[in-house]
Structures are given as C-alpha cells and as structure tokens.
Structure 1
Amino acid sequence: MPTPNKPDFQPVLIVAGPTASGKSALALDMANTFDGVVINADSMQVYKELRVLSARPDDGELARAPHRLYGVLSGAEACSAGKWREMAMAEIAECHAKGKLPIITGGTGMYLNALTAGIAPIPDVPMRIRETVTAELAEMGHVAFFDKLKRDDPETAAKLDGNNTQRMIRAAEVFAHTGRGLASWHNEPVLTPPENMFFKKLCYMPPRDILYDRCNRRFDLMIAQGALDEVRDLIALNLPPTAPVMKAVGVRELSSYLSGTTDLETARDLSQRETRRYAKRQLTWFRHQMTDKEIIDTQYSESLADKLRHDINQFLLTTPK
C-alpha cells in the first residue's frame, strides 16, 4: 500500500454492489494489488451456517488474500448494524496498524452506512428478548401490543404506523432490553468514523439483464454445491423464525421442498425470483442512498481494472490534506 504524507492517514476502500454483481472478485483483485484485507459487509455472510447460500468466498479465494468477518457468528446470534460496525472498526484498525489496506465489500447498505455516516449507539438486543417480544405480539394482537408500546415509549410510538410489525417489534425489544425508548437512543450522539479516516467508494452495478442472469445461474450453482444439505442442517438447529439467518434468500423456499410441500423446480424458481428482487432493491438503495460513490456499470475487464488501480493509487497518495 502506498505511504501517504500524513502518518495518521486511515484509508478505507469500499467495494459495494448488489448480490451476484461480481464485487467480491473486484475486491479480491484490488486486495492483491494493494496488499489489502477483504472485510465482509454482507449481513448473511457473517453466519457460519450459510457458506453456500450466502456465496461466501471459497477456499481458493480465501488463499489469495486475507478475509475477515466471514462465517464468524453463529446463526443463533443476531448481527445488527451496530455489532457489525464494532467488528469492522476493529478489523480496520488492525489493517492500519499492519500497513494494509482495508477493503470493505458487501451489499448490506445499512452496514456500510453505519460505517461511513455513523449510527446511534443502541445496544444489541439479545435473541431471547426478540423472541419474547415477537411471541407477545402474536398473543396480544397488533392493537393491544401497540397500545402497550404507546404507554412504554410514547415518543417512538407517535412516529410509528400501528400496522408496521417489524418497526413495532424493534421499538418494543429496545425498550424491553434497555428500559429506554428507541427515540431516546436516537437522540444520543451518533458514532461516527474518525476524522482521519477517508473512504473511497466503488459501487459495482452491472446492467440489470446481466445481473439477473447472474442471479439465476448462481442459484443453480448453489444447488449443485450443496445448498439443500446446508438448509437441512440449518433446520436441524431448531432456530426461531425470527433469527436473521432463517431469512436468507433460499432458506424458506428450499425448506418447503425438504418438507415435501413443494417440488424442487418450484423452490428453485421462487428462490431465483427472490434473489432478483433482492438485487433490484439493492440497486435502488445504492443508487439513491449511497453518497460520494463511483458507479461502475460496465463489464469487468482488464482495462477497467487498470483504471481502478490508477484511481485507487491516486486516492492513497493524495487524499490527506
């Protein structure tokens, strides 16, 4: 990695993009060029049980450059944006201490935003509390549950739609865990990146028809690589349906096949459709929510790689003021 003029310069390269875009290959190429470490920013790739369905790097890719935060959590844990940011900041600090370039890659927008823009310091809520709150909602019904939330946390409840189940659960679980309302936590000073940390953001967004074709072909490859066995093992853990790992694309669809309620072709088609829909949502988020980005919307080629290497080299040499 080039040495900038300021010793406190902390560069971070971000390679973002939707699922199946090819961002991981791009990040790996840049890691090889700039003595970098690839740090995962995908909310499903953090779980050890989802190597196939989350398309984690294979053994060959892992051997080419150091990778961090892949498969580091149990599916019984919930990885929030705050928890991921804490882990990522530790990995980034280690990279800078060793003179290596941290390369954050993934498609989870809220994780990337938590790192680059900051996040309210809300404590992580244990899974058991989330399960309890979810069960309480099911038992009480939406109206009574929302009325209780209004009593416990009127400031947050005033901003919520009583029909938005996920947001109600989130507010209730934070209050149950901390004794403070969610709105109160949002009034706390935001955890922002250090002033000497500089980001270069690359957003890899191939044409939609190419991206959708990649989504389809990649899920077929997942089936061939053992996705069914992976889902079978996941089901055997008896995790609650509220566990984030159970919401990965393909888990519900392949579970239906394994339980005999649908055939494999239908499960495959539904999984591919959900993957395309997820990619579409990611495209929209990155286009409208990610600031100060450089969009890459052409096919990856050696000429494009050369340009990116030049641009990143300039970033590393000239960013400090």
Structure 2
Amino acid sequence: MDESGTAAPLEPLKNAILIAGPTASGKSALAIRLALQQDGVIVNTDSMQVYSVLHHLTARPSAEDESRVPHRLYGTVSPAIAYSTGEWARAVSNLVRNAELQDKTIIFVGGTGLYFRALTEGLSSMPEVDPAIRQRWRDALQAEGAAKLHNILQTRDPIAAEAIRVTDGQRIVRALEVEEASGKPISWWQGQRGQPIVHAPGARKIVLTPDRAWLAERIGDRFDIMIKAGAMDEVDQIAKLDLDPALPAMKAIGLRELLQVRRGELSMADAVELAKTMTRQYAKRQSTWFRTQLDESWMRVADAHLIRK
C-alpha cells in the first residue's frame, strides 16, 4: 500500500527510465529526446510542477514540448491543495495501470528526491485521518503558530520533531494528526515500507551533475525567460485565489517575491535577483541530496548531451 492507502501495481515497472537532477540542468530536454527515440511517455517527478496555474514559474514543459511527446501528471493539481508524496505515488500507480501505456517506455523526470525514493523503495502505509481531526490541527496552526505545535510534537514524537523544521507548519500538522488518528507516531508509520512502483534493478537511472558555474548562469537566464513568458500573469492569478501562505504551491521559488512586487513592497529588479539567488541555493541542495542519497546504481552525467540514446 502507498501513503494514501491505494495498492501499488502487482508487478513493479520494469525497463523504466528515471532522470533526476537539479533545476535547470537539462532533464526535460533529455527526457524528450529519449522519449522520441524509444516511444516514451514522460511522467512528472517534480513536486512543484504538479500544480496548475504555475506553468512558467515552475518551468513546466512548454505546449510545444507536450505536443511532441505525451506528458503526464503536469499541472493536474490545484494550488489550493496540500499535495503529498503519497498522493502523487497513488496517481502514478493508477497511471501505469493504464492499458494504453503498457507498450510504452515510461520516463520519470524531475527534481524531487522523495518522489524518486517512492518510485524505487515504496512508501510507508499511512492511516486514514478523520477530517475533523485534520481540521482541528489546521485551525490550531492558524491560531497558535507552527512553533507551539512543534513543541507539542516534541513530546508526542521526538523523532519526527527532530526531522521537521520548526517553521514547517504543514509537516508538523501532518505528524500530529497521524499520531492522534492512529495512536502511533508518524515516525513509526514511516518505518513501514510499501511496495516500490519501479523495479529499481531493471530501471535505467540517470542523475545529472552539471558544472556549478554553468548551472548558475543557466538559472539566471531561465528566470529572465520566465518573466518575459508571462510569470507575472500567473502571480496575479495566484493573488486572486487568496491562498494560505503555508500551502506547498505558495513556496514556488520567486512567487513570494513577485507577489511583493505586485503589492509595491519590492522592486522588480530586486525580486528577480532574490529569486535567482534562491533558485541557485535550491539547486545546490538538490545536488547535495542526489549525491548523498542516490547509490552507485545511478549513472552520473555532467552533460545531458553526452547521453545519445
């Protein structure tokens, strides 16, 4: 069972292709090239690219790219939803059961390490949480703040509390609601592994490790392109939704700064510079995660163009 309680496929996917790497490293272009060569379908493996509205700001594939190769699970979730890794894994499990994909090469591409871990290792089962319990903890987060709830979590599940930042209200609430609903801490549930979606030994696993200077320049250029392509229109749409700032979609890099531009609190030049800096810092964290968490079975490639087929 996956985190959401839905059974994984009876047989883990064999001969899948997994492409991981930091943002702006060329993953999507490589995925398209391989998909064209191998009659493939590209499946989003990035926790921000699941959200609708934020097309440019999350660097989702263009409409032209999607017309060349089938893309799945991009922009399918409202930014008003706190989407979880378990929900994504359930969507993938349902997708790969689709008869029309049985003879296709499934190519998973993205930058979210936990999504790749869910594919190759499976997720722990999680208990059902009564909506009333969930709402009560969310109300408590609004009324009392993340820090106070983190103190409560420290007494109930110190292992989880150590792993969750004091400011991460969504994860704190999730841990508290699971503990209340089940009587067992979330750290216990996380230790119960489920069935993997992908047969890791049979998969082709690639992680891109680009030169840092090259990547930093590419990140800067890409953000400029995002702005020209219409990122501010997306910012305006998000502003109209009046979403909870704690929602995952609201943490899209650059969104907060561009919202400040619209409110007259920050100049466009300063917002763009801040967003570029944060994107580079995020890419560094991604690279560190992939370097330390992915084993030697992953092929590490500095330049995606070196992979021909």
TM more than 0.5? yes
Query: Residue type of the partner of 2:110?
Result: G
Shift of 1:206: 1.1
Query: Residue type of the partner of 1:210?
Result: W
Counterpart in the other structure of 1:284: 288
Distance 2:105 2:271 in 1: 41
Structure 1 unmatched runs, 5+? 1-6, 310-321
Counterpart in the other structure of 1:297: 302
Shift of 1:92: 2.8
Structure 2 unmatched runs, 5+? 1-10
Give 3-state SS (helix, strand or coil) of 2:46's partner.
Answer: coil
Counterpart in the other structure of 2:32: 28
Relative distance call for 1:223 and 1:122 in structure 2 (3 A) is: same
Does the 8 Å CA contact 1:76/1:127 hold for their aligned counterparts? no
Counterpart in the other structure of 2:97: 93
Distance 1:143 1:88 in 2: 34
- Number of aligned residue pairs: give it: 295
Counterpart in the other structure of 2:69: 65
User: Which of 202, 205, 213 lines up with 1:209 in the alignment?
Assistant: 213
Deviations 1:242-298 (A, max 9, x none): 111101001101011111001000000000001101111111111111122101113
Structure 2 length-normalised TM:
0.85
Give 3-state SS (helix, strand or coil) of 2:81's partner.
Answer: coil
Say yes or no: does 1:260 pair with 2:260. Answer: no
Does the 8 Å CA contact 1:83/1:124 hold for their aligned counterparts? no
Counterpart in the other structure of 1:19: 23
Say yes or no: does 1:46 pair with 2:47. Answer: no
Shift of 1:141: 6.0
Give 3-state SS (helix, strand or coil) of 2:161's partner.
Answer: coil
Give 3-state SS (helix, strand or coil) of 1:110's partner.
Answer: helix
Query: Residue type of the partner of 1:51?
Result: H
Deviations 1:168-222 (A, max 9, x none): 3331133355564313423434333366983211111210000111100000000
Distance 2:289 2:150 in 1: 29
Does the 8 Å CA contact 1:41/1:106 hold for their aligned counterparts? yes
Give 3-state SS (helix, strand or coil) of 1:202's partner.
Answer: strand
Does the 8 Å CA contact 1:31/1:101 hold for their aligned counterparts? yes
Does the 8 Å CA contact 1:42/1:107 hold for their aligned counterparts? yes
Relative distance call for 1:127 and 1:267 in structure 2 (3 A) is: farther
Relative distance call for 1:48 and 1:145 in structure 2 (3 A) is: closer
Give 3-state SS (helix, strand or coil) of 1:295's partner.
Answer: strand
Query: Residue type of the partner of 1:228?
Result: M
Query: Residue type of the partner of 1:66?
Result: P
User: Which of 107, 115, 124 lines up with 2:111 in the alignment?
Assistant: 107
Distance 1:60 1:212 in 2: 26
Counterpart in the other structure of 2:158: 157
Taking every aligned residue pair, what percent have the same amino acid on both sides? Answer: 37
Structure 1 length-normalised TM:
0.82
Give 3-state SS (helix, strand or coil) of 1:160's partner.
Answer: helix
Counterpart in the other structure of 1:232: 236
Which range moves more in the overlay, 75-84 or 86-95? 86-95
Distance 1:46 1:226 in 2: 19
C-alpha RMSD of the superposition: 2.9
Distance 1:256 1:188 in 2: 42
Distance 1:191 1:118 in 2: 5
Does the 8 Å CA contact 1:121/1:191 hold for their aligned counterparts? no
Give 3-state SS (helix, strand or coil) of 1:61's partner.
Answer: helix
Shift of 1:10: 2.1
Distance 1:229 1:53 in 2: 10
Distance 1:234 1:142 in 2: 23
Shift of 1:127: 9.8
